[in-house]
Chains A and B, each alone.
Chain A
Amino acid sequence: MRTRDPQRQQGAGWLFVSPAILVLGVFLVAPIGMALWVSLSDWSGSGSPISRDVNFIGTENYNALLADPGLARQDLMISFRNTFYYVLGVVPLQTILALSLAVLLNNRFLKGRTFFRTAFYFPSVVSSVAISLLFLFLFAGSGAINNVLGWFGVNGPNWFQDSRGLIHIFGDAVGLWSLAAPPSWMTEPSVMGLSFWEWFSGPSVALSAIMMQVIWTTAGTFMLLFLAGLQDLPVEVEEAAMVDGANKWQRFMNVTVPHLRPTILLVVTLGFIGTWQVFDQMYVMTQGGPAKTTLTPAYLSYQAAFTNGDWGQGAAIAFILFAIIFILTTTQRWLMRDKDVSAQKRADRGVRRRQRSRRTRAIVEETQRKAQSS
């Protein structure tokens, strides 16, 4: 019975997983390792990054991006600012929109459910480049959006050319400050190379147009996740809530949302990661403009490497972005954790630990007794 031989099976096991390990290694581990090396080297983009001409320069690339005052740090901070406002706008809105759509479409008495599901999911299937090009035309200065706004007497902006920040515009409208001459208490103090005025600009009009596009596109994908979660919700629970006299809103807040908690956590996490990494839209539509207000870390990384030939900085930006996403999603998962469940887990662990120590004590006493008796 050679096949039953445990040693043989062990070898076969490794043999079976080796293609996967090889593929993951070549396409995942090795490139990440190379990128890490490039971010610590002065590689100029010609020849192999591990040839003898390439020198280790420590954290110089990271210093240029995070510590030394200069253009590299300024651009990275601008991209952080833009992405911060972008995430702040996109993640809550796309989650709420997706949840609302899912709840609407989960209604058993809705006619044409399949049609609507397909319709709302459709943008997620279409390539983001195609959608971006479409939105370029929709939001052009004399495009469809501005024409529709015109019916209501609104003179729409030239969306993708407009670098004014929304907070700036709002402050200007309520008379807090003037856009043309920002007050010195805003322009004087500066943090990391950007003045308060620049930090608190809000998303620019151009970035807002991209945000609208992204919310519209991704809501369908996340709607699908919510729909799957809703299918798991037993009808009896809802009926029980109905019998208890809960109205629609109460049922939604106290039955549906708690039930969907894991899905919401997943959607928000995916949303965070996706929005911090946003690249396609900037590459196709704005190339970081107008006035750098749609510059994002992912696009900046691409630009640093392929346009400026600064490969080390490009790789360093990618790792800084990774660190940010990692820290933010970890924090977010910790903040949104189910407090009852984690309290329960902690309690369980405590019980187990006590049991274990009791058992150990018993064993120790047993051995001692045996030792004494012999």
Chain B
Amino acid sequence: MKNQKNQKNRLAAPFAVGLLSALALTACGGDGFDDQDTGDAEEATSAEGEASLVMLIASSGEAETAAVEEAAAEWAEASGNEVEVRVAADMNQELAQGFAGGNPPDIFYLDAAQVAQQASDGNLHAYEAQDNEDYFPALQEAFTYEDTQWCAPKDFSTLGLQINTEKWEAAGLTDEDIPTTYEELAQVAETLTEGDTTGLVFSPGVDRVGAFVVGNGGWWLNEDATEPTGTSEEVLAGLEYVKENIAEGSFAYAGDVDAGWGGEAFGTERAAMTIEGNWIRGAMSNDYPDVDYTVAELPEGSAGPGTLLFSQCWGVAADSEAQTQAVDLVNHLSTPEQQLEFAEAFGVMPSRQAATEDYSSAFPEDAPFIAGGDYGRGPVNAPDMTQVVADLNSQLEGIGSADLQQMMESFDSNASAVLEQ
């Protein structure tokens, strides 16, 4: 009896060891112990012979997917390579999985707010597209982290002021009353506030309120993004302006008028004015085609004009095996002609100054948006700041009753904890 039991164990042990080592091997994956490149490799990798690239895009819809696919196919045919365009359902997550697994898409949309994070994690291959100087300087700046421009701006959007024509005229206002300063904006907002309608409604958070901070000459971080400047006079002045007008009732957040965002408040006519980017055009023509409106540049603050700029670039992966071909594809996709085609197809503004003139003549009503390209400010561009900015956003939701000094002190201490690392 005893003997038999021992033999059982003798058989079981190697079996278990075999299973465990099989597990360990699967867990490690193929290139688990390889040395990893740190990302800013000087020499670009190039595929031998025919390259097959994978492109991951976060598409706004059928039109964008089709346009990008067509442009990529053109390049593929001309250059004899292959491109597969994939549409991401959750961009952040799919990119993260690609980077973690060591086989990211070769080329992908990358938001300006993510560049510093991805660059510092070593996920990006830094490159410059042809005629890099032709891109709006503010856009070059938006994708620069630690003195390196990491990728070529794809297109951009800026914030503008949308005005409901009917309400504007009903309040006895004319084109000459379109506000050019913050004082005038507060005045017309007060005039337009009546009954169910609030003068100016926008979404909460840094992506809207930040425009008033920029207009007052402030920013959340200093120029080098090394130190927070939340308690500076300029930042507080911008926030104070928003707070005062919200307290008076002539400004409101979208949530306070039963809307999910500024465009919805504007479309349902609970707002006489809103602050959104050029994407509002699609929403208005689809959901609220009967609302007549005009677009103006955001008024000037004490430090001149101020708007926010949102942009994505063509990111190229550090782990890609065909970086040369990927950059070549970017060059093809960012010629002024191609950018104008994209603009035509799905309404984005070209990031190249060479395309601006043609764009303005094709879409004259977008002039206020494109003007923002000269003075707009990109998003906070430093690694690990996502959580800090998210916290500021949630605090800004209660700006009406907030102690601004205290709020920005907490932002400063959170931000310096991250930036000092």
Contact = CB atoms under 8 A, between A and B. Distances in A.
Interface of A: 6-7, 10-11, 14, 18, 21-22, 25-26, 29-30, 33-34, 44-53, 70-72, 74-75, 140-142, 158, 161-163, 180, 289-292, 303-310
B12 A14 contact: yes
Contacts of B395: 291
B65 interface: no
A258 B160 CA distance: 66
Nearest to A30: B27
A26 B100 CA distance: 18
Contacts of A303: 387
Nearest to B268: A142
Interface residues of B, number: 57
A158 B35 CA distance: 53
Contacts of B255: 141, 158, 161-162, 290
B391 interface: yes
A267 to B, nearest CB: 33
Interface stretch (B15-23, B43-51, B277-285, B366-374): B15-23
Given A10-B12, A26-B23, 19 more contacts: A7-B11, A18-B15, A21-B19, A22-B23, A30-B23, A33-B27, A45-B99, A46-B100, A51-B36, A52-B35, A71-B387, A161-B254, A161-B255, A161-B256, A162-B255, A289-B394, A303-B387, A306-B92, A309-B117
Interface string B244-256: 0000000000111
Contacts of B31: 48
24 contacts: A26-B26, A30-B24, A45-B96, A45-B121, A46-B99, A46-B121, A47-B36, A47-B319, A48-B100, A48-B102, A50-B27, A51-B33, A70-B417, A71-B391, A72-B387, A75-B387, A75-B391, A141-B259, A142-B268, A161-B260, A180-B401, A292-B394, A307-B92, A310-B387
Contact of B258 (A141, A290, A306): A141
Contacts of B23: 22, 25-26, 29-30
B311 interface: no
B384 interface: yes
A291 B407 CA distance: 13
A48 B32 contact: yes
Contacts of B121: 44-46, 309
A132 B118 CA distance: 32
B174 interface: no
B176 interface: no
A281 B53 CA distance: 36
A205 B80 CA distance: 58
B391 A47 contact: no
A303 B93 CA distance: 10
B78 interface: no
Given A44-B121, A161-B255, A309-B96, A22 B33 contact: no
A279 B141 CA distance: 37
Contacts of B401: 180
A225 B117 CA distance: 48
A46 B122 contact: yes
A307 B255 CA distance: 24
A12 to B, nearest CB: 11
Given A70-B414, A291-B397, A307 B386 contact: yes
B4 interface: yes
A14 B123 CA distance: 44
Q: Which 8 A-B pairs have the closest CB atoms?
A: A141-B258, A161-B255, A30-B27, A47-B36, A25-B23, A44-B121, A48-B32, A46-B99
Interface string B90-111: 0011001001101000000000
A158 B264 CA distance: 14
Given A18-B19, A44-B122, A52-B35, A306 B96 contact: yes
B89 interface: no
A51 B34 contact: yes
Contacts of A289: 394, 397
Contact of A30 (B8, B26, B99, B318): B26
B304 interface: no
Contact of B102 (A47, A180, A306): A47
B19 A25 contact: yes
